[in-house]
Each structure stands twice: as C-alpha cells, then as structure tokens.
Chain A
Amino acid sequence: MNSLAMSSLTIAWVMAALQTLIFIAAAPLMAGWVKRLKCHMQNRAAPAVWQPYRDLAKLMRKDMVLAENASWLFRATPYIVFGATLLAAAAVPLVVVHLPTAAIADLIVLVGFFALARFFTALAALDIGTAFGGMGASREMTVAALAEPAMLMVVFTLAMTAGTTNLSTATEAVLQAGVVLRPSFLFALFALAMVAVAECGRIPVDNPATHLELTMLHEAMILEYGGRHLALIEWAAQIKLMIYAVLIVDFFFPWGIARDFNAVSLTIGVIAGTAKVMLLAMLLVVWETVLAKIRLFRAPQFLGFAFLLALLGMLTSVVLETGS
C-alpha cells in the first residue's frame, strides 16, 4: 500500500516535470506560430515556425559582450528572470490538473513571480547607466503599476466564483460547473486579455518587433544584453506569453484538460490544449493586425479600461451572481 502511494506520487512528480518541460519547449513554437500567422496576415514572406528555436540556438552559441561597469546584478538578472518564469510555468496546468507543482503557487504568487522578474529586469536596465535602459525601465514600471491591479482584480473575481486562488482547483471547479453563463467571467476574460497584451509587450501597448527608440518599452531595457543572457530573457518572454494564453484557456475554456493520468485523457488534453492555444494565437494576430500601437500616454487609459472591466466583473459577480 505504502509503495503504491509512493509510486503514484513519483508518477505525479514525473508528470509535473514533463508538463513543465513541454511548456518551456513549446513556448518558442507558439512565438513562431504567432510570427508566421502575422506575416501571412500582412502579406509578407513568413519565416518557418522553427525560427525562434534557431534564433535561441544561435544566441546560446554566441559570445557575450558585457559593459565595463556591469555589476553582478546585470549578470544574474537573466537567470533570475528565467527562473521566476520557469516556476510560474510549473504552476500553470497545461495538459493535466492536480499535479503536485500546482501547490507551489496560487494565482497571487504567480503575479508575484512576474513582478519579481520585472523588478530585476528594471534594475539591470538601470545598472548599466545608459539612457535607454533608464527610459525603458521607467516606462515598463509605469505600465506594470497599472496592469497589476487590473490583473489582481481579475484574479479576485475568478477566485470568488471558484472559491479558491489555486489555479488547478479553480480550473476543476469551472469544469465541474458545466455551462453557466457568467457575466463576471465575460468581463474578466476581456480584462485579462487586455492585461496580457500589455504585460507581454504586444501591440497596442508595445511593439515586440521594433527597436525604434521612441516607442520601445521592453526592448529598451534589454538593449545591452547579448549572447546567452539575451537568449534566456527572450525565451522567458516567450514563456510568459504562453503562460498568459494558457491562463485564459484554463479559466474560460478548460474543456478537454485531463483530470487523471490515463493515456487517453492525456492525449485528449494535449490535443485540446494545443488547439486552444493555437486558436488564441490567431485571435492575438488578428488583434495585432487591426490595431495600431497607441501613444505611451494613452496606455494608462487602455489599462484603466482593463481595470474597469475587471471591477465590473467583480461587481457583477457580487450583485448579479451571488445576490443577497
């Protein structure tokens, strides 16, 4: 009996490690898929979906050039960023719920991981002392300070309905409830999508493809990085985009995710997860193609609207769904 429990625990941990590996291995693929779709959408010649892997491999092989006045902080930051993002990825159920890693972090800690990564990126950007680093750090913190309350409000709305802030349990609660039309989820979905767009540095808040000095936010901070460090930071950014996509899928469209370690349900989980993330990437591409980048000074309005949506989600969940 005891050995059986031990073996099932081992299987669970192996599954958790496998899921995290799949997560970080698939993140560049998703980035490549988004890039390819976007090129097709804009009538440009598209790179292969494997291109992000080649880029990462090339950067890994390259030598690093460090600035003379770079401190240990600058050198440690890529590892901290990648580590925090990896831990966040481990906590998000991609294929199967109820893994032991789900206990690492609830949603609030997940937001905390992102904040930690962002904090160190901003510090490293200031560390070198170039003008672009400081500018990028200040802009990124401005956006983050506005996006985080909206994100937390979304989390609270979902937690009130699911009765927990644990992601895995919440996903199961949504699955168990079946088809329920919830206005709070509708508002929370749009708020979370807007926050995800802002946090991942996508159009309309930031343009990931540009290095134009007046418009860049995230790129301005990591301008001094090269080689292995840059590869880790870019990979972390791709994982972050994937985490947000999977978060949206887990909360609002969890159907198909595996609830046990049965081979059939795992296969269904993989297929459903891939299909849903691919669809979501298509929506992101359409969104990025029809919208133009907004001025930096209008980003607060964009995020203020996201906050309002999240707040409305919270209010409707209290007023309309719970009642008195």
Chain B
Amino acid sequence: MELTTLGLYNQAIIVFAALVLFTSFVMLAQPRIQPLIYTFAWQGLLLAVVIVLAAIVSNHPHLYISAALTVVLKVGLIPWLLYRLSIRLNMNYETETITHPSMLLLSGAGLVVFSYFIAAPIVHLSGLATRNTIAVSIAVELLGMLIMIARKTAMAQVIGFMSIENGLFFAAVVSTYGMPLIVELGVAFDVMVASILFGVFFFHLRDSFDSLDVSHLNRLSETDEAMPLPEAAEVKQP
C-alpha cells in the first residue's frame, strides 16, 4: 500500500512505528544500564502514541485504556522499579562489554528483513490501514529475543523480555486493533508480577555470584570445587 494514499494520522502511525523499531535497535547496542532503562521507557511511550493514534483512526475507544495501561506500566512503573533496583544493586553506572556491536546491529537488520518475509501473508489478508506495521511489530519481538540472547547482564535480558512483550502488544494493536480487554489486563498483570520476580532473582544472583552476569549460571558449581583425592578416599575406607 502506498504511503501517499493514507491520511495524515495513518502516516503518523507509521512514523511512530518506525521509531519504536529504532528504540529496539538502540537497546540492542546500548552497553550502559541507565540509558538502557530510559530507552525502554521511551519505547513504551512511543508505543502508547501509536496506540492512541490507532484509537483515533479506528474509533475503538477501548484502545485508550490499553494506551493508559502502557503508559502507567511500561513508561512509569516498570522502568521505575528497574531504575531503583539498579541503584540498590549499585550497578547504575556499570557498562557491559558487547562483543561485535556492528555484527549485532546487522543481524538485527537481518531480523527485520526476516519478519517482513514472514509477515507478508498476514499483510495480504489484513484490510487495516496499519497492516504495513505488522512486520515491524514482529521485528520488535524478534529484536527483544536477540537482546535476550546476545546480552549477558540480567538487567539487559529482563529489558529484552519486556521489549518482547511490547512487540506482542504492538502486533495485537496493529493487526486486529487490540486484544480483548480482559486478556490485555491479564498480560499487563503478568508483566508486573514478572518485574517483581526479576527483582528477587537479581538479588539472588548477586548474592551467589557477586555480579549480574548470567553467564555464571552456565557453570556447574561442582567443577569449581577441588576434587577429593582418590588416596584420601581409600584411607577412609577401613
């Protein structure tokens, strides 16, 4: 569908959708914790703008509630919780070394192409004016997954997880003008509970390993301890 045939509101939806995608890329390569949290909050805000614009265009008033929910949870509560956690854990100025940032960004661009490819059949079926943005919403989900795969600190992985949720919400809004309200409320509640659970998980992780680098979890704890000598075992025998 050509952009010039759309109204100004629909064009604005497309611009803000592109900006949501851009924030995903920023999160992918942002090594510092605090700007990462801010970028996540920005993504929530841009998503809320998309939802409000979609509500205006499609005349679906229940989307305003979704937008309000997004602002309260994804712009206010969750970034605030994560920010407080990062201060309490004394990691708000920490930077994570990202190996091969350009490779990461290029593979992200590859994911956008891939999601364009898999969204093509859905786009053909849909009759909505926002149907072009379906590919972008799938790309936001996949990029969130890439953040979880590529980043090592627990904080970045949690933000990747939340960004997947942003992508799901986005996809629901642009492909069918939103899920039923009860489902949205349930998902929002789940995400809120998840963010609290992640906080507990952070503290456990720091207590056990003295860092939030989740690659420590890959190691078996037994291999680090000194192996008991075979002679010592024999001496004990009689």
A-side residues, CB < 8 A to B, are: 177, 179-184, 186-187, 300-301, 304, 308, 311-312, 315-316, 318-324
A54–B131 CA distance with the chains assembled, in angstroms: 59
A181–B4 CA distance with the chains assembled, in angstroms: 9
Is B14 close to A, CB under 8 A?
A: yes
Is B2 close to A, CB under 8 A?
A: yes
Q: A301-B101, A319-B136, A322-B2 are in contact. Are A183 and B14 (CB under 8 A)?
A: yes
Interface of B is mostly: helix
A182–B4 CA distance with the chains assembled, in angstroms: 9
Rounded to whole Å, the gap between the CB of B112 and the closest CB of chain A is: 5
Rounded to whole Å, the gap between the CB of A25 and the closest CB of chain B is: 38
A324 proximity list for chain B (CB < 8 A): 116, 120, 123-124
Whether the pair A320, B22 counts as a contact (CB closer than 8 A) is no
A-B residue pairs in contact (CB < 8 Å), sample of 26: A177-B4, A179-B8, A180-B4, A181-B11, A183-B14, A183-B19, A186-B15, A187-B22, A304-B105, A308-B25, A308-B109, A312-B18, A312-B22, A315-B109, A315-B113, A315-B116, A319-B116, A320-B3, A320-B132, A321-B3, A321-B14, A321-B132, A322-B2, A323-B131, A324-B116, A324-B120
A181–B14 CA distance with the chains assembled, in angstroms: 8
Whether the pair B14, A320 counts as a contact (CB closer than 8 A) is yes
A184–B22 CA distance with the chains assembled, in angstroms: 11
Q: A177-B4, A312-B25 are in contact. Are A320 and B133 (CB under 8 A)?
A: yes
A102–B237 CA distance with the chains assembled, in angstroms: 95
- For the side of the interface on B, what is the size category? 20 to 34
A298–B32 CA distance with the chains assembled, in angstroms: 16
B-side residues, CB < 8 A to A, are: 1-4, 8, 11-12, 14-15, 17-19, 21-22, 25, 101-102, 105, 109, 112-113, 116, 120, 123-124, 131-133, 135-136
Whether the pair B124, A182 counts as a contact (CB closer than 8 A) is no
Q: Which of A182, A316, A318, A319 has the most CB of B within 10 A?
A: A319
Residue in B3, B19, B102, B136 whose CB lies within 8 Å of A180: B3
Whether the pair A319, B109 counts as a contact (CB closer than 8 A) is no
Whether the pair A181, B113 counts as a contact (CB closer than 8 A) is no
A315–B4 CA distance with the chains assembled, in angstroms: 18
Whether the pair A320, B113 counts as a contact (CB closer than 8 A) is no
Residue in B3, B17, B133, B135 whose CB lies within 8 Å of A182: B3
A181 proximity list for chain B (CB < 8 A): 8, 11-12, 14-15
B3 proximity list for chain A (CB < 8 A): 180, 182, 320-322
A183–B112 CA distance with the chains assembled, in angstroms: 15
Whether the pair A320, B136 counts as a contact (CB closer than 8 A) is yes
A312 proximity list for chain B (CB < 8 A): 18, 21-22, 25, 109, 112
B2 proximity list for chain A (CB < 8 A): 321-323
Rounded to whole Å, the gap between the CB of A319 and the closest CB of chain B is: 5
Q: Which of B3, B11, B14, B102 has the most CB of A within 10 A?
A: B3
Whether the pair A183, B120 counts as a contact (CB closer than 8 A) is no
